[in-house]
Amino acid sequence: NQQRRLEFLKTSGKTPQKIALRAKLVLLASQGKSNSAIARTLDVSRPTVLLWRARFRHSGVPGIMKDAPRPGRKKALSPEKIQTVVEATLHSKPEGQTHWSVRTMARAQGISRMAVQRIWKLHGLQPHRVKTFKLSNDKRFVEKLRDVVGLYMNPPEKALVLSVDEKSQIQALDRTQPGLPMKKGRCGTMTHDYKRHGTTTLFAALNMLDGKVLGECLPRHRSKEFLRFMGTIDKNTPPGLDLHLIVDNYSTHKSPIVKRWMKRHPRFHLHFIPTSSSWLNMVERWFRNITDQAIRRGVFTSVPALIKAIEEYLAAHNENPKIFTWTKDADTILAKVAKCKEALGTQH
């Protein structure tokens, strides 16, 4: 009787497709087929075969006529439990570790990893990440900050504002073996070890007016090379304009020969950012771009090859320059610094 009913369900045009599939599954099992063979024949998973064979053994044909019972929705976590997870994330650490992971927090709180992920996402918590910072101890921090930000936001008339710095010791690195190109489903590869072929220093001046960059590669980064680059700036800017250069506190920018040169070239004015405040020098952002886009993943068999790549990047950038716009005024920055100092004070 059961066999006839199964055959009917298998062949009847009125049988729902999923019921017919289950009938075929049970009939194949009655022929002595293995679970794996049935799964391959019907293109279903092995757990599906096991499920419906068990349902048929337990309830016969009626057992395959209804869908398997599904588990109900899990009970939502209480607000108290969510707050406990948040507080534990913010104010405690797992024993012997520096921060919580999804797994360690789930074990500690007796909840699922997915629940921990949802709570952390909802509250913007990322204990696996950390950002670095440093507050400047420069005694003239406020004065220098207002000076530099003022140049960005209210540049003087008949003058150019240039953000100037050098990226020193750029290495011409060649990989020990050829890498594999990127293809669908796989990123490109490169060896972790390399061959050194020398270094160069890139001096750069970012024009805050139009976003163009004047750059020059020199073998070292002494005052001598800095003055050579100053001469390059002098030759490549309109002679009737004053030049306000924003620079860091590197000793090559303050040496006696630089000071003497400045006296002979009165249109040049140096503005020093506070110590430990490289974020104030906009050319640093451009240095990050050239590093990411042209240097870090490059393969250079010689210093001239490296310099050629840098010059090509410079030319491409200046064909379609991006203007770097400073948006935060000095008062807003100082308020954030004060807030940071206050927060740090509460930690001690």
115 and 222 assigned to the same domain: no
Question: At residue 244, what are phi and psi to the nearest 5 degrees?
Answer: -105, 110
Instruction: For helices 141-153 and 330-346, give the axis angle rounded to 10 degrees.
Output: 140
* Measured distance CA(10)–CA(23) in Å, rounded: 6
For the chain, what is the domain count?
A: 3
106 and 212 assigned to the same domain: no
9 and 83 assigned to the same domain: no
Residues in CB range of 18: below 8 A, 6 or more apart: none
58 and 31 assigned to the same domain: yes
- Beta-strand ranges (E) seen in 249-341 are 268-272
149 and 287 assigned to the same domain: yes
> For residue 134, is it within any domain?
no
Residues in CB range of 322: below 8 A, 6 or more apart: 211
85 and 56 assigned to the same domain: no
Residues in CB range of 313: below 8 A, 6 or more apart: 290, 293, 294
Q: What pLDDT score was predicted for residue 198? A: 94
* DSSP string computed for 175-191: ESSPPPPPBTTB-----
Q: What pLDDT score was predicted for residue 340? A: 85
Residue ranges of alpha helices (H) inside 31-140 are 35-42, 46-59, 62-65, 79-91, 102-109, 113-122
Q: Which domain holds residue 117?
A: 79-122
For residues 31 and 21, is the Cβ–Cβ distance under 8 A?
A: no
* Measured distance CA(329)–CA(323) in Å, rounded: 18
225 and 311 assigned to the same domain: yes
166 and 217 assigned to the same domain: yes
Q: What pLDDT score was predicted for residue 346? A: 62
> For residue 345, is it within any domain?
no
Tens of pLDDT along the chain (348 residues) come to: 788 888 998 888 888 999 999 999 999 999 999 999 999 999 999 999 999 999 999 989 998 888 866 666 667 889 999 999 999 999 999 999 999 999 999 999 999 999 999 999 999 999 999 887 778 888 999 999 999 999 999 999 999 999 999 999 999 999 888 888 888 888 888 888 889 999 999 999 999 999 999 999 999 999 999 999 999 999 999 998 999 999 999 999 999 999 999 999 999 999 999 998 999 999 999 999 999 999 998 999 999 999 999 999 999 999 999 888 899 999 999 998 888 888 877 654
Q: What pLDDT score was predicted for residue 347? A: 59
258 and 319 assigned to the same domain: yes
Q: What pLDDT score was predicted for residue 326? A: 92
- CATH for 257: 3.30.420.10
pTM over 0.85? The answer is no
For residues 226 and 252, is the Cβ–Cβ distance under 8 A?
A: yes
**In what helix (H) or strand (E) does residue 161 lie, and over which residues does it extend?**
strand 159-175
Q: What pLDDT score was predicted for residue 145? A: 94
